[in-house]
Amino acid sequence: MKASGTRRDADGIGLHTRLTWMLFLFALWCGLVVLRLAQYMLLDRERTVTAMARDSVYEGVVAADRGRILDREGRVLAWSERVYEVSWRIPSSPEDALREFGVLPAAAPGLVRSWAPEQILARCGQWVCLGTEFDAVQVLAFEPLRGSLAELDVRATFRRQRVENPEVTALLGRVVCTADGTEVGVSGLELLHDEILRGQPGIFRVTLDKHGKWIPETWTKLADLRRGYDVHLPLRSGTPAGSP
């Protein structure tokens, strides 16, 4: 009877000790987790959030087309064209370089100048420009190549075109491109009517996958893309040669 009571007491003390230890270890684990979370959320918050946003989200701007300038009879005096520059980075490996080179002419016939294989092999690892004046329809020919070419870079810029008339050209003035590609008037009528002619750039956000590629279904519009308004001038131009 006494021995049984002693064993029960010993079991109770052993259980109590085990429970205390378990509680201590659990509290220690919780404390470590909380400290780690506090480090991420309070101390390293700025750095962590910046790194995550930089790596996983792309926020882009699409420059708007600048409006046209027309004379009082509706003839176009100045207009903008969006043109694309396409560059291809030749792979460092000669086999990959020749394989990628093989798909180029088939996908974009007539758009890419002919290269000799020796020329390609001599430029392994370098960027080569495939063209600088492609229009939107032409550049779409490169879309199927995205899966075949490891590195293909396409950039858009604007060309402000004017009628071939020195007097009108001097009156119209000049435009320059800003960092986001928007054309801004800096002199003449382009400057005078800049607020009307300049459109509103579209802004969007998209999530990137682990390879840095867009996940298109995550695309979100942040600001509308709106082209600039046309300006009708109360003057009559001479010859509208070269107008679209």
Query: CB neighbours (10 Å) of residue 161?
Result: 16
User: At 14, which helix (H) or strand (E)?
Assistant: helix 2-38
In whole angstroms, the minimum distance from the beta carbon of 140 to other proteins comes to 5
CB 28 within 8 A of CB 176: no
CB of 23 to other proteins, least distance (A): 12
- C-beta of 170: minimal distance to other proteins in Å? 27
Contact 185, 191 (CB under 8 A): yes
Our CB check for other proteins shows the closer of 152 and 171 to be: 152
Neighbours of 148 (CB within 10 A): 14
Contacts of residues 101-104 at CB distance under 8 Å and 24 or more positions apart, as own/partner, are 103/145, 103/148, 103/149, 104/130, 104/145, 104/149
Nearer to other proteins, 120 or 139 (CB): 139
Between residues 216 and 234, which has the closer beta carbon with respect to other proteins?
A: 216
Report in angstroms how near the CB of residue 103 gets to other proteins at its nearest: 16
CB of 15 to other proteins, least distance (A): 8
CB of 191 to other proteins, least distance (A): 23
Give the nearer residue to other proteins in terms of CB position, either 118 or 217. 217
b/e for 89-124, b at 16 or more Cβ within 10 A? Answer: bbbeeeeebeebbeebeeebeebbeebeeeebeeee
Answer whether 185's CB lies under 8 Å from 193's CB. yes
Judged by beta carbon, residue 59 or residue 133, the one nearer other proteins is: 59
Residues that bind other proteins (CB under 8 A): 12, 15, 19, 58-63, 65, 82, 84, 136-137, 139-140, 142-143, 146, 153-156, 179-181, 202-204, 206, 208, 212-214, 216-217, 219, 221, 225, 227
Distances (CA, A) of 44 to 30, 48, 55: 20, 6, 16
- 124/177 with CB nearer other proteins: 177
